Structure 1
Amino acid sequence: MGDRVLCTVDGGVADVRLNRPAKLNALDSEMFAALAETGEALRAERGLRAVVLSGEGRSFCAGLDTSAFGAMAQGREWRPAGREPADPGAPSRGQRAVLAFRDLPVPVIAAVRGHALGGGLQLALGADIRIAAPGAVFAVLEVRWGLVPDMVGTQLLPRLVGPDVAAELIFTGRRVDAAEAHRIGLVTRIADDPLAAAHELAAEIAARSPDAVRAAKELLAITDYAAGLAAERAAFARLAGSPNQREAAAASLARRAPRFADPEEQP
């Protein structure tokens, strides 16, 4: 993954940081590849409980590198480097950079300061929870470049803010400050130090039963109502009486810290 994305894991919590601060963590070919590779590597990380996603420097991610738009203005096609999938129904490289985190089995928390624009906003949408600094700015900028969001944004944004608000933001490309982003449901909450707040929340999640947390994330991703009800029943039946569920109950009754096993370690 090179140096475009930094990743460390401590206490079951992965700290993932976009690492191009001089360019406000703008997305280039190397960044797209590094994001996808990092997400895929974390999927295989033993004992992973939560992920905190942020950007080095003063911005989360300012979107696609302007050199790409320069190429487009000259009539040259620009795509993230590397082979696109042969199957037209498979995710593109840009989509995979978001889905690599969206599809992780553990919660992902985005800590946003500065800019979350265009592809940067779509990357934040791939997180389960977004914590923003008071001065953060959000925008779906693609329309200003004659484009549409193509990193899962058209699918994820309406689920957060509703179809009409999503349409307004996508059609106009207008910028939204942190206060409005919180009001419309684009961010979960505002914190003076979003990175510290994200790690505090991640540590709290990491202390819960990993089986229950992973099952909850699966359930929250289901959009079909009937399928969701059936999945709820199945998940509850699967968890009830399991080793980690018994440990959670025993620890709560004894008012002690639980000692959970990683899902892979359970018989």
Structure 2
Amino acid sequence: MTDVVRVTVDVDGGIADVRLARPEKRNALDPAMFEALVRTGERLRTEPGLRAVVLSGSGPDFCAGLDLGAMSALGRGDRLTAVVDLPPGDGPAAALGQRAAYVWAQVPVPVVAAVHGNALGGGLQIALGADIRIVAPDAVLSVMEVRWGLVPDMTGTQLLPRLVGPDTARELVFTGRTVTGTEAAAIGLATRTADDPLAAAFALAREIATRSPDAVRAAKRLLDLAERVDLATGLAAEQTEIAALIGTPNQAEAVAAGLGKRAPNFT
């Protein structure tokens, strides 16, 4: 829809550095940003050699939520999906905003969100799509849609209760109140805090990249499945994954490297 750059991607050593790139607007969400997030996530789903993704925002904020122009359009009854032309997705998320957040859950490797400044409304919901959230202690987070007469519609009502529990999710959604990064970590909205969340996210991504890529991808599949199926189905999937891993070249290399006290050389 536009040639403007909204998201940048740099892949180095198997780690993708993905940054929302609209700092002059606090990385606010407009149709071009939604489109860029979806297209970037879809590209990384098939990126060869990918080990981990770090998702962050350029400038003073992670993402301050919906662009004021887009908010005005909503006030007139317009929907952003009408101005963005994307091929259909293959997952449960169908709407544009849902795909912009959920596509990070569909990336087959761990996605670490580094959150600083504001992560509000849709911006916070994008972070919910990540596997891990490392936040600055003074970051400001909110599912604030109720303040605009709306509900979180970018997977927030479904993913938030899994992180913070149903009662806390209700409180946050019903009030639209803000929490600091410190409180976010305390209630489970964030994984942990770090004074420099971006540096901490890259350190974690580099550590993940030292592990067997086959095992890490299988682990992400199983952990995602655990949130959606009954225990018997999950346990059966666990046995399927372990059977597929045992005896593979990367699994044998992990054992040899561990016993030999050396760094592994995975393929």
Give the TM interval when normalised to the shorter protein.
over 0.9
Q: How far apart are the structure 2 equivalents of 1:47 and 1:29?
A: 30
The superposition leaves residues 28-84 of structure 1 with CA deviations (integer Å, 9 ceiling, x where unpaired) of 0000000001011111211000000000001000011111222333x3413142247
Does 1:182 find its partner at 2:185? yes
Instruction: Mark the runs of 5 or more structure 2 residues left unpaired by the alignment.
Output: none
Give the match for residue 77 of structure 1: 78
TM superposition shift of 1:135: 1.1
For the 8 Å contact 1:182–1:190, the answer to whether it is kept is yes
The superposition leaves residues 176-212 of structure 1 with CA deviations (integer Å, 9 ceiling, x where unpaired) of 1111101100001110110000000000001100000
Pick from 117, 120, 125 the counterpart of residue 120 of structure 2.
Answer: 117
Give the match for residue 150 of structure 1: 153
Pick from 23, 30, 33 the counterpart of residue 31 of structure 1.
Answer: 33
For the 8 Å contact 2:8–2:20, the answer to whether it is kept is yes
Q: 1:178 to 1:86 in 2, by over 3 A?
A: closer
Q: How far apart are the structure 2 equivalents of 1:82 and 1:55?
A: 22
Q: Which moved more, 1:76-85 or 1:209-218?
A: 76-85
SS of the residue corresponding to residue 221 of structure 1 reads: helix
Q: How far apart are the structure 1 equivalents of 2:246 and 2:199?
A: 34
The superposition leaves residues 231-255 of structure 1 with CA deviations (integer Å, 9 ceiling, x where unpaired) of 1111111111111100000001101
Give TM-score scaled by structure 2 length: 0.93
Percent identity between the two aligned chains: 63
Give the match for residue 265 of structure 1: none
Give TM-score scaled by structure 1 length: 0.93
Q: 1:15 to 1:162 in 2, by over 3 A?
A: same
Q: How far apart are the structure 2 equivalents of 1:145 and 1:97?
A: 20
Q: 1:187 to 1:247 in 2, by over 3 A?
A: same
Give the match for residue 215 of structure 1: 218
Does 1:251 find its partner at 2:257? yes
For the 8 Å contact 1:5–1:19, the answer to whether it is kept is yes
Q: How far apart are the structure 1 equivalents of 2:248 and 2:86?
A: 42
CA RMSD, 1 decimal: 1.6
For the 8 Å contact 2:35–2:86, the answer to whether it is kept is no
SS of the residue corresponding to residue 156 of structure 1 reads: helix
Give the match for residue 264 of structure 1: none
- Tell me the amino acid that sits aligned with residue 32 of structure 2: E
- Tell me the amino acid that sits aligned with residue 178 of structure 1: G
SS of the residue corresponding to residue 170 of structure 2 reads: helix
Q: How far apart are the structure 1 equivalents of 2:197 and 2:264?
A: 27
Give the match for residue 52 of structure 1: 54
Aligned residues: 259
For the 8 Å contact 1:5–1:17, the answer to whether it is kept is yes
Pick from 19, 22, 26 the counterpart of residue 20 of structure 1.
Answer: 22
